[in-house]
Chain A
């Protein structure tokens, strides 16, 4: 196949990564997505494996100990390392740092200590290690950032290295705009792209810091200006770091915009706002998908397809009122449906339903038992069965690695 045309469905981390990899490999890509992907809701980091079920320090080494049905067992450590290496290369502007093999521990917006593999350089000063001294500082008018909660929890946590850290809270008065009393992080991030606002912000933070402290600030330090945080650090005169907030997550938006804009610049066709409403196949070859655009349905034929539409959270998988779970796009056979899918213990074990999805072979082709369903359809990301992503902190690594395998196997001519 000379220049394959590939339709990628979904614009989360899996869809965007697959599309990038395919474009870089010379394919023509049409990415179709019902809405903007969930990547911008993320913390802007790339997790590989955080808990299995205990804290994981070296994620790649822990993959082999996962259950046989876990997607990482099919994906393998090498593909994860390749995918994360690829992401750090593709995601320009020095937006991600770290390595797949080694987790770092970073504070969350509630002061928990969270493992992740790749983080934004603006976050890495917040590594929770023995003897660290933090002052957690935020503007009083910012929603969803509570320095006392974060500092209190961090200071009373036994760290992964067995030690403790020092953390104390501080806050200051500075509305994000006008006289707004409850601005979102995004309002601040847009303001902090402006050097004048940055100077006022830094002037408010600086007097609150004592010598030897690192300053934990909310993850709002600039949206478009990737060096806003560095400029701010110079003005404050102490090491600073970002703590990601709940959505709207500015670090998540940075990651999403970088990947999306890169694809548009490479001239992938990006069709936002239309849902796949049908498809056509000849035997085990998928011919086209049908897109429900305004006013009409449009048939898009392609040589290969990547299903990267996510799981239940996006509606790609659905459970009806009888408890029947379906793939809403292709009606693919699903695994992990052994009852009961949902148990009543809210605080108990992970709900089995979230591990439902499709089973794939080593090139991410969807399986029905041992049989490949469509020779030219691959699945990536949240639709893959066998992982409790939110509990394991494994979703990003699965998405990126399965996307790279899917793309490479299409480019390798096995579409």
Chain B
């Protein structure tokens, strides 16, 4: 298994490392713990000593946030190297916990029908202690709140849309969290796209495999991402695909290819057609095609750009987009990562690190919010909600409100 990881094709980029330390200065994990010697050591330096076997298991403390790769001026694929080395390191003794937390659809599907029960169970302290002891998920780790109805159920049961769609059709990719937990964000995304004149198609769709990828389960993740590509394409071959799941979008755009070596025309096709919703709306604005009859929202809103959104190399489209709303002031968190990094911050041995990584962000959000903070990815929102007690939503909530839709 994991042939691509064994071959470590990204290894070729390690010779570009000039040891400049820029990645070290940006690494959010290295900043808060001495357990992780940093991206320069664990990435290009340690990689020279790996021959199948990892010489240094502190590799597992890399959260995979990708800030190192993003910041590297020499094009070294540090985070990708780490992800591959970790997949090889863990393949003979993959913890049950890591297999469980990466099954996002299963979690959602099991919790939704029994939402009050599941939500209640996750709040039972003794139960969480048992889970921590047996499974290894920290008792205080942020958990999603099950919704009771899925996004698909809403989409399929709502009254048939009668307003025109002069701009043609788009495909909406909701991601697992957008289907089961952050249902409201998916609904608002669809309503915004329909409001500005698109027909939104939602084919039946599964998981992108990101959580499995980040836990080193490349085979299952590859199967998942290719199945998803087929599903998204089933709605129409050349349509633009929109998502409000920032990190799942990144999986399709580049991570499945660059980390797992998925070299498949279906992924290439979907990966070039998918847009983050803010990226898409800002592009419309730049082309003079975005309706900008926004209602005034007199508010200061802290915004955290998740690491996996930043790693898509498109800048921060949310800021200029939201500031089209009169009265709205966006304050960028300036934090490289919230700490959760997908499933990293759930794990009992990494929980404290993830909280320490998030602390400056939590302090910033607490100090600047006027009742709302925004962030593009689901697990990051759970982390920031838990760390601050502040309502944290997807930026599309503000666009939805400014269009008078809520």
| Chain A, Cβ-Cβ closest to B360 | A224
CB distance from A405 to the nearest CB of B (A): 25
Whether B34 and A178, one on each chain, are in contact in the complex, defined by CB atoms closer than 8 angstroms, is yes
Whether B274 and A295, one on each chain, are in contact in the complex, defined by CB atoms closer than 8 angstroms, is yes
Interface membership of A226, Cβ < 8 A: no
Interface membership of B252, Cβ < 8 A: yes
CB contacts (< 8 Å) of B70 on chain A: these are 35, 272-273
Interface segment among B222-230, B309-317, B366-374: the answer is: B309-317
Interface membership of B234, Cβ < 8 A: no
Q: Which A23-40 residues sit within 8 Å CB-CB of chain B? A: 33-38, 40
Distance between Cα atoms of A275 and B75 in the complex (Å): 9
Please encode chain B, from 49 to 86, with 1 for each CB lying within 8 Å of some chain A CB and 0 for all others: 00000000000000000000111111100000000000
Whether B250 and A294, one on each chain, are in contact in the complex, defined by CB atoms closer than 8 angstroms, is yes
Distance between Cα atoms of A253 and B312 in the complex (Å): 24
How many CB-defined contacts (below 8 Å) exist between A and B?
Answer: 93
Interface membership of A108, Cβ < 8 A: no
Chain B: interface size category: 35 or more
Distance between Cα atoms of A247 and B23 in the complex (Å): 11
CB contacts (< 8 Å) of A295 on chain B: these are 252-254, 271-272, 274, 312
Q: Which B1-50 residues sit within 8 Å CB-CB of chain A? A: 18, 20-22, 24-26, 31, 34
CB contacts (< 8 Å) of B254 on chain A: these are 294-295
CB distance from B15 to the nearest CB of A (A): 13
Interface membership of B334, Cβ < 8 A: yes
CB distance from B258 to the nearest CB of A (A): 9
Interface residue from B22, B34, B313 paired with A40 (Cβ < 8 Å): B22
Interface residue from A33, A291, A315 paired with B74 (Cβ < 8 Å): A315
Distance between Cα atoms of A269 and B24 in the complex (Å): 25
Interface membership of B140, Cβ < 8 A: no
Interface membership of B332, Cβ < 8 A: yes
Distance between Cα atoms of A293 and B22 in the complex (Å): 21
Q: Which A170-225 residues sit within 8 Å CB-CB of chain B? A: 177-180, 184, 186, 190
CB contacts (< 8 Å) of B252 on chain A: these are 295
Interface residue from B26, B31, B334 paired with A36 (Cβ < 8 Å): B26
| Chain B, Cβ-Cβ closest to A32 | B315
Interface membership of B320, Cβ < 8 A: yes
User: Which of B31, B69, B274, B314 has its CB near the most chain A CB atoms (within 10 A)?
Assistant: B314
Interface membership of A74, Cβ < 8 A: no
Interface membership of A271, Cβ < 8 A: yes
CB contacts (< 8 Å) of B271 on chain A: these are 295-296
Q: A36-B71, A41-B22 are in contact. Are A261 and B315 (CB under 8 A)?
A: no
Distance between Cα atoms of A192 and B352 in the complex (Å): 22
Whether A186 and B25, one on each chain, are in contact in the complex, defined by CB atoms closer than 8 angstroms, is yes
Whether B73 and A36, one on each chain, are in contact in the complex, defined by CB atoms closer than 8 angstroms, is yes
Please encode chain B, from 304 to 344, with 1 for each CB lying within 8 Å of some chain A CB and 0 for all others: 00000011111110011001000000001010000000000
Interface membership of A352, Cβ < 8 A: no
Interface membership of A233, Cβ < 8 A: no
Distance between Cα atoms of A272 and B316 in the complex (Å): 9
Whether B71 and A264, one on each chain, are in contact in the complex, defined by CB atoms closer than 8 angstroms, is no
Interface residue from B75, B311, B315, B332 paired with A271 (Cβ < 8 Å): B315
CB distance from B185 to the nearest CB of A (A): 22
Q: A41-B21, A295-B253, A295-B272 are in contact. Are A273 and B34 (CB under 8 A)?
A: no
Interface residue from B24, B253, B315, B320 paired with A272 (Cβ < 8 Å): B315
Whether A274 and B313, one on each chain, are in contact in the complex, defined by CB atoms closer than 8 angstroms, is yes
| Chain B, Cβ-Cβ closest to A300 | B286
CB contacts (< 8 Å) of A272 on chain B: these are 70-71, 310, 313, 315
Distance between Cα atoms of A248 and B70 in the complex (Å): 17
Please encode chain A, from 274 to 306, with 1 for each CB lying within 8 Å of some chain B CB and 0 for all others: 110000000000000001111110100000000
CB distance from A337 to the nearest CB of B (A): 24
Interface membership of A267, Cβ < 8 A: yes
Interface residue from A34, A177, A247 paired with B75 (Cβ < 8 Å): A34
Distance between Cα atoms of A261 and B75 in the complex (Å): 23
CB distance from A306 to the nearest CB of B (A): 17
Interface membership of A270, Cβ < 8 A: yes
Interface membership of A227, Cβ < 8 A: no
Distance between Cα atoms of A270 and B314 in the complex (Å): 9
Interface residue from B74, B313, B319, B334 paired with A273 (Cβ < 8 Å): B313
| Chain B, Cβ-Cβ closest to A31 | B315
Whether A269 and B313, one on each chain, are in contact in the complex, defined by CB atoms closer than 8 angstroms, is no
CB distance from B247 to the nearest CB of A (A): 12
Known: A35-B71, A272-B313, A273-B311; 11 extra A-B contacts, CB below 8 A, are A34-B75, A35-B75, A36-B71, A40-B22, A40-B25, A177-B34, A248-B22, A273-B310, A291-B313, A294-B250, A315-B75
Interface CB pairs A-B, < 8 A, 12: A35-B71, A35-B73, A37-B73, A40-B22, A177-B34, A253-B25, A271-B315, A293-B312, A293-B314, A295-B271, A313-B18, A314-B73
- Which are the 8 A-B pairs with shortest beta-carbon distances? A295-B253, A35-B73, A274-B313, A271-B315, A294-B254, A273-B313, A273-B70, A294-B312
